[in-house]
Amino acid sequence: MKTIKRHGASIALLLPSIVVLAIFVYGFIGVNLSISLTDEQGLNAESNFVGLDNYFALLDDPRFHIDVWNTLVFSVAFIFCSLFLGLGLAILIDQKIRAEGFFRSIYLLPMAVSFIVTGVVWRWLMNPAEGSRMSGLNLLFDTLGLDFLINQWHLTPTWGMLGIALPAIWQMSGYTMALFLAGLRSIPEEVKEAARTDGASEFVIYLRIILPMIRPVALSAIVILGHISLKVFDLIIAIAGKQLSLDVPAIYMWQTTFDAYNFARGATLATYILVSVAIFVIPYLIVTSRKERA
């Protein structure tokens, strides 16, 4: 009785969100999974259980191969560059420079705009038109005499996703910087002082002491950037519309579900996206929960 009284209020407060989560997150994941095991096509159509057929079909689907390649190219470029740019900016800002707040805001600002806005602006910047219609970055390069830099950006065959990664890096590296900066600031000054007294150079201090100490921050950053990159949709739509050379699973899912009413294939793609994000997030959750218990 006592325990119920003691915990009654907190349970009552938590209950609505637990119920809502159970239905709208886990319940829908379950519904999605069950649709992906059927052949449901068309509105309110009859459907039969087909097991994992949809998943195997996807593996043979040339469009899905492009999606996987594009996601890979985008994720590697985006996560890698955002981490390094973010870390570099954080280290520079951490040097107790003047007008630190000003620079910090400048680097953080891109995060305040949505991917759609970023996409529309970069669509213009990365305009691949040639000759008299040249504009954006290509025109800048042309004016500066840097002709060798002029390129097709996101319309480059095979590697076009690097062009999409560019604005994403621009937008998210400031955010990564903020994460790293918080990590750097949490390192006690005494540790660095002690190392300096022992005669360690600044470089060694960063390499041996600071970087290992902000590893958890890097892990969080990778998880956050990773799930963004696996779900990227709006940025591509804003820059390039729907075209297959820049296709990703999320766009394929949208088109096959809502343009073709192929709900089974759409659900299969959704499951794929969920699983690929889970591969990123679940190890992280396990690590953090272990740490909390310890």
Partner 1 sequence: MQITSKRTLTFALSTVLTLGLVGCATTPAEEETSGSSGSGGSGTSETATGTVEVFSWWTGGGEEAGLNALVEVFNAEYPNIEFVNAAVAGGAGTNARAVLATRLEANDPPDSFQGHAGAELMDYITAGQLEDLSALYEEQGWAAVMPETLLPLITVDGAIYSVPVNIHRANVMWANPSVLADNGISIPNSWDEFFVAAETLEAAGIIPLALGEQWTQLHLFETVLLGELGTDAYNGLWDGSTDWGSSAVGSALATFDKVLSYTNADAASLAWQDASQLVINGDAAFNIMGDWAEGFFRVDNSLVEQVGYTWAPAPGTAGTFQFLSDSFTLPKGAPDRDSAIAWLKVAGSAAGQDAFNVKKGSIPARNDADKSIYPPYLQSAMDDWGSNLVAGSLTHGVTASNAWKAEIDTALGLFLIDGDVAAFQAALVTAAG
Helix intervals (H) in the chain: 2-21, 28-36, 53-59, 62-93, 100-108, 115-125, 136-144, 160-185, 189-197, 202-204, 211-213, 215-230, 234-240, 249-254, 263-293
Q: Is 23 in the site for partner 1 (CB under 8 A)?
A: no
Q: Is 28 in the site for partner 1 (CB under 8 A)?
A: no
How many binding residues for partner 1 (CB under 8 A)? 42
Among the candidate windows 3-11, 83-91, 124-132, 217-225, which touches partner 1 by CB under 8 A? 124-132
Residue selected from 141, 159, 233, 254 as contacting partner 1 according to rule CB under 8 A = 254
Question: Closest Cα partner for 224 from 184, 186, 180, 272?
Answer: 180
DSSP letter assigned to residue 110: G
Kindly tell me which residue out of 182, 261, 275, 278 binds partner 1, with binding defined by CB under 8 A. 261
**Is position 27 an interface residue for partner 1 (rule: CB under 8 A)?**
no
Contact 129, 135 (CB under 8 A): yes
Q: Which is nearer to partner 1, 186 or 243 (CB)?
A: 243
**If binding is defined by CB under 8 A, does position 289 make contact with partner 1?**
no
User: Applying CB under 8 A, does 243 fall inside the site for partner 1?
Assistant: yes
Using the rule CB under 8 A, give the single segment among 81-89, 200-208, 216-224, 243-251 that binds partner 1.
Answer: 243-251
Query: Minimal distance in Å, beta carbon 238 to partner 1?
Result: 5
* Under 8 Å between Cβ of 228 and 172: yes
